[in-house]
């Protein structure tokens, strides 16, 4: 619905997987994507280009990005979301923004995300199970949404919640539930306001497939995948560190920060190497990069912190 117009423009311009992405060409594509009234968004993309250093690598096939997913509301298997997430009604959709803000309210999705403000962001994306992807997301900076809600000075964290709707989410039905719903995530306010942090409503220039978290999901490219919460219905500003689903499930294995860090292993496996989704299980693993390759941009957020303790 929202970015339908982008389909035709983008599909002809997608760089084949085998090519190393040319960010400038891609941004030219983005200019087309947001054609017309969208100069501010384009300007921001150019700033981002300056700030973001090296290219993230070849794009992962859209098929892989949309058929190998984690979305426990639809089942525990990585093939479940593609099979079952189609049952979710994503229109109409609204997001409640509450807590320590001057402008709380229920914001309709189309009011929160205007096509003219959309940007394309090509990010490395990393699952804790050591799968790596490169995804051309479409979305808006989370900072813009938070600024609009106007946090009060003492707000320090942002909490997120996913929809609870067992009638459409088969993973929320039945007697065995691994996670306590709603799926919850959180960021420190400075992490949430960082220009790399986006709310995505699309990928590959098209509307976000349900299995990837339609209609609106978080993308925090320097953190493990589970921080990037899907199908968001609530954003709460708070002064207390929010509870997060995986930390609630297994606190010893999943900390609040969850920054990609090759030096801090998961208790049950090493995080020093990663596999590229789609490359096959026999492909050589590659080294995991500190902060998933975004150390220059985000390292300063954690200056002086013990990242073994704050994992």
Ligand X SMILES: Nc1nc2c(c(=O)[nH]1)N[C@H]1C(S)=C(S)[C@@H](COP(=O)(O)O)O[C@H]1N2
If one asks whether residue 72 binds ligand X (CB under 6 A), the answer comes out as yes
- Interaction partner, residue 275 (Mo ion, ligand X, none; CB < 5-8 Å by kind): none
3-state secondary structure (DSSP) of residue 231 = coil
List all residues 6 or more positions away from 214 whose beta carbon is below 8 Å from its beta carbon: 85, 88, 90, 201, 207, 208, 230, 231
If one asks whether residue 184 binds ligand X (CB under 6 A), the answer comes out as no
What is the dihedral sign for C-alpha 129, 135, 138, 142? positive
Name the E strands within 127-215. Answer: 131-141, 157-162, 184-188, 198-203, 206-207
State the minimum distance, in angstroms, from the CB of residue 70 to Mo ion: 5
If one asks whether residue 70 binds ligand X (CB under 6 A), the answer comes out as yes
Site track 108-147 with ligand X (rule: CB under 6 A), x = hit: -------------------x--------------------
Residue nearer to ligand X on the CB measure, 72 or 107: 72
If one asks whether residue 212 binds ligand X (CB under 6 A), the answer comes out as yes
- Of 194, 195, 193, 213, nearest to 203 (Cα)? 213
**Residue 233: enclosing H or E segment and its boundaries?**
strand 232-238
Q: Contacts with ligand X in 213-272 (CB under 6 A)? A: 213, 225-226, 228-231
* Of 182, 221, 225, 255, the one binding Mo ion by CB under 5 A: 225
Report yes or no: 203 and 217 within 8 Å, Cβ to Cβ.
no
Residue nearer to Mo ion on the CB measure, 10 or 217: 217
Cis peptide before 182 (omega within 30 of 0): yes
Backbone dihedral angles phi then psi of residue 149, each to the nearest 5 degrees: -75, -15
If one asks whether residue 226 binds Mo ion (CB under 5 A), the answer comes out as yes
Give the residue closest to ligand X by C-beta.
225
If one asks whether residue 127 binds Mo ion (CB under 5 A), the answer comes out as yes
* Of 84, 183, 204, 222, the one binding ligand X by CB under 6 A: 183
Q: Which residues pair with 257 in a beta bridge?
A: none
Binding residues (CB under 6 A) for ligand X: these are 69-73, 127, 162, 183, 212-213, 225-226, 228-231
């Amino acid at each position: 619905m929202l970015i339908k117009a982008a389909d035709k423009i983008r599909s002809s311009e997608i760089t084949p997987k085998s090519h190393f992405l040319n960010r400038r060409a891609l941004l030219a594509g983005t200019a087309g994507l947001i054609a017309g009234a969208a100069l501010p968004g384009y300007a921001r993309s150019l700033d981002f280009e300056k700030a973001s250093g090296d290219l993230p690598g070849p794009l992962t096939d859209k098929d892989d990005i949309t058929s190998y997913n984690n979305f426990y509301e639809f089942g525990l298997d990585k093939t479940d979301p593609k099979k079952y997430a189609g049952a979710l009604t994503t229109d109409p959709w609204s997001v409640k923004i509450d807590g320590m803000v001057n402008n709380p309210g229920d914001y309709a999705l189309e009011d929160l995300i205007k096509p003219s403000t959309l940007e394309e962001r090509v990010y490395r994306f990393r699952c804790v199970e050591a799968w790596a992807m490169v995804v051309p997301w479409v979305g808006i900076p989370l900072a813009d949404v938070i600024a609009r809600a106007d946090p009060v000075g003492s707000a320090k964290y942002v909490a997120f919640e996913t929809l609870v709707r067992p009638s459409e989410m088969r993973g929320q039905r039945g007697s065995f539930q691994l996670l306590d719903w709603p799926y919850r995530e959180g960021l420190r306010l400075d992490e949430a306001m960082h220009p790399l942090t986006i709310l995505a409503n699309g990928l590959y220039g098209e509307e976000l497939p349900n299995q990837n978290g339609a209609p609106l999901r978080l993308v925090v490219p320097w953190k493990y995948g589970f921080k990037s919460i899907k199908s968001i219905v609530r954003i709460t500003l708070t002064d207390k560190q929010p509870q997060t689903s995986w930390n609630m499930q297994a606190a010893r294995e999943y900390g609040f920060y969850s920054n990609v860090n090759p030096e801090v292993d998961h208790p049950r496996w090493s995080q020093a190497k990663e596999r590229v989704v789609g490359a096959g299980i026999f492909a050589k693993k590659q080294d995991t990069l500190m902060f998933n390759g975004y150390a220059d941009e985000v390292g300063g957020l954690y200056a002086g912190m013990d990242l073994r303790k704050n994992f």
